[in-house]
Amino acid sequence: MIKGAIAIFALSIFVFSCAAQVANTPQPPHAPPVPSVPPPASQPVLLPNLTILDISLSETGKIEVMLSNTGEGPAPYGVGSLAIYVDGLLKWKDSLGTLPDQTFLEPGGTTLYTTPIELVGRQEVRAVLDKEEKTVEENRLSNVFPKVLGKEKLEAKPLLPDLAVTDLFLTPRKEVAVTIANFGNSPLPLGEGNLKVTVDGSPKGNYPLGNLSGQSSLPVKGTMTLTTPWVLVGRHEVGVHVGFPNEVKEASEENNSLKKVLEGPPVGPDIVVKHLELTEDLELLILLSNAGEVDLRKGAIFQVQVFVNGQKMSEFDHFISEALKANLKNRYTIAPPYQVGIAGISKVKVSISPELPSDDIQLENNTLERTFIIFPFRIGPLGKEEFSFSFVAPRLLSKAQTEKVTIEARWEWGTSSIKLSFKKSGSVEGIPTLTGKSPLKVEFPIPLEEAQKESVWSIFIRNLIKKKVEGHLVIQHP
């Protein structure tokens, strides 16, 4: 045991001495540290950004989509889809890989693609890219583009006329006249239209357009001037309105009226040749009246001319022996100093003119033309005779304008009675007969619808006594 302890002791002394030698041995200098090499930097990932730049309609009405890649990296081919919604409903969807032009996949590239969707009317359209989010992108906000496209679907408008009153004025004769035009796209029928004239708000006339114009319609873009028989005296506000029955439709009725302040001649007498008559000896009488607003003074002088069948038969100055009341309140009769006898068929024209202009402010109504037809007759006891004539009615400008045919039978033995009966061509209703003593006179107004038409009349005279009757049948028409 002692030997073992000695051995351990000796081993310890040996290890210690070796360690001391190593500690006392000089060490070589340290080598400089080797610098560390950083790992290589990672490369950035370039992402695409598919964008819908705009949506629009092609010339054929199909929806077009402008696609682009506004990112820095390319988009993968064949990934994602394009969808079209109309008013919130999916109308079309297809893969991006089916688009014939793939330029939009590259950065900065654009493609205009026309979809098969045709838009009708005005609707909200929404284009959506890659709704399934299969492509990694920088920003998905640009994948949706809403827009309202198209026009309102309008119903086809019917072709309608559109009458407009474009002007209101006085003619040189101081008659109220208007200019009308058709701004519509269809001819304007004139036959049923009426022109109403007011002066200072009061109605003064209602005139059928067909009579004023002499034609049945006004063509598209056509214009015409309508002259009424209304003569304006003094300064007044004149209004006109053109109206049609309900069956005549217009594009607009807001331009059918017009008002203007117009100034005619000053207020004064307005002498009119009102009527022509024959004496018992078939000599001419002239009847005057005053249509003005001021009485014609006594003592005024008028020149009178009488023509028969185009030949001047009498010309003289007449001294007015009594005042002519305003507003047609009385009539004044002139007998030519040299008698003018009428016989057979005679076209008579009478014209008057004042010595002083202030005695007659309107000269346009100072002439009157009438045709007389005189048939002598001799009818035996209880006999009957027929007479016929025809004429063309003049053009009437308004319902207010009246023309008439006057038929008068005169005979000897005035205390005896005869019977007149009448027949007119085209008349459906029978014309009443007339019985009486001499002179037997009747007047027939000329209907507006017969203007400028020829009518043929037959007159039958029946002697109701057992004596011969002699006399004249006197017919007067315009």
Which domain CATH number covers 108?
2.60.40.10
Residue 61 lies in a domain: yes
Residue 412 lies in a domain: yes
The whole-angstrom separation of Cα 472 and Cα 441 is 12
Distances (CA, A) of 111 to 50, 92, 139, 215: 11, 18, 19, 63
- pTM > 0.85: yes or no: no
The whole-angstrom separation of Cα 317 and Cα 299 is 12
Q: Backbone dihedral region of 197: left (phi > 0), alpha (psi from -120 to 50 degrees) or beta?
A: beta
Residue 10 carries which side chain, given as an amino acid letter? A
Q: What are the backbone angles phi and psi of residue 370, rounded to the nearest 5°?
A: -140, 150
Same domain, 376 and 467: yes
In the beta sheet, which residues pair with residue 259? Answer: 239
Residue 452 lies in a domain: yes
Same domain, 250 and 281: no
Same domain, 361 and 375: no
Same domain, 255 and 347: no
Which of 263, 284, 317 terminates a domain? The answer is 263
Return the pLDDT at 352: 92
Same domain, 273 and 257: no
Q: Per-residue b/e over 229-266, b at no fewer than 16 CB within 10 Å?
A: bbbbbeebebbbbbbbeeebebbeeebbbbeeebebee
| Number of independent structural domains in the chain | 4
Residue 2 lies in a domain: no
Same domain, 434 and 388: yes
Q: Which of 407, 430, 422, 419 is nearest to 456 (CA)?
A: 422
pLDDT in tens, the chain (478 residues): 444 544 455 455 454 444 444 445 555 555 566 566 666 656 677 788 888 889 998 888 899 999 888 888 888 888 888 888 988 888 888 888 888 888 888 898 898 999 988 888 888 999 898 777 777 777 777 888 998 988 776 566 788 888 899 999 998 878 899 999 999 888 988 888 899 999 999 998 888 888 888 788 889 998 999 998 888 888 899 999 998 887 788 888 888 999 999 988 778 888 889 899 999 899 999 999 988 888 888 889 999 999 999 999 999 999 999 988 988 888 889 999 988 999 999 999 999 999 988 888 888 788 999 999 999 989 888 888 888 888 887 765 544 456 788 888 888 866 778 888 888 776 655 567 888 888 888 888 877 666 677 788 888 888 888 888 888 989 898 8
Same domain, 471 and 384: yes
Same domain, 186 and 236: yes
Helix (H, G, I), strand (E, B) or coil at 206: strand
Q: Which two tokens stand for residue 243?
A: 């109206």
Q: Which long-range contacts (CB under 8 A, 24 or more apart) does 279-284 make?
A: 279/335, 280/410, 281/339, 281/341, 282/341, 282/342, 282/343, 282/374, 282/472, 282/474, 283/335, 283/339, 283/340, 283/341, 283/342, 284/335, 284/336, 284/339, 284/340, 284/341, 284/342, 284/348, 284/350
Return the pLDDT at 12: 52
**Is 305 within 8 Å of 315 (Cβ atoms)?**
yes
Q: Which of 473, 478, 447, 468 is nearest to 388 (CA)?
A: 473
Same domain, 234 and 313: no
The whole-angstrom separation of Cα 279 and Cα 342 is 10
Residue 478, Cβ density class (10 Å: 0-12 exposed, 13-18 middle, ≥19 buried): middle
Q: Which of 411, 399, 424, 419 is nearest to 477 (CA)?
A: 424
Residue 157 lies in a domain: no
Classify strands 144-149 and 62-69 as parallel, antiparallel or unpaired: unpaired
Which of 317, 348, 365 terminates a domain? The answer is 365
Residue 13 lies in a domain: no
Residue 86 lies in a domain: yes
The whole-angstrom separation of Cα 452 and Cα 455 is 10
Q: Which two tokens stand for residue 234?
A: 């003094």
Return the pLDDT at 60: 86
Which of 309, 337, 365 terminates a domain? The answer is 365
Which domain CATH number covers 418?
2.60.120.380
Which domain CATH number covers 277?
2.60.40
Same domain, 80 and 143: yes
**Is 108 within 8 Å of 17 (Cβ atoms)?**
no
Same domain, 468 and 385: yes
For residue 122, give its domain range: 50-149
Classify strands 454-463 and 331-334 as parallel, antiparallel or unpaired: unpaired
The whole-angstrom separation of Cα 23 and Cα 17 is 10
Residue 102 lies in a domain: yes
Same domain, 258 and 272: no
Rounded (5°) CA angle 317-322-323: 105
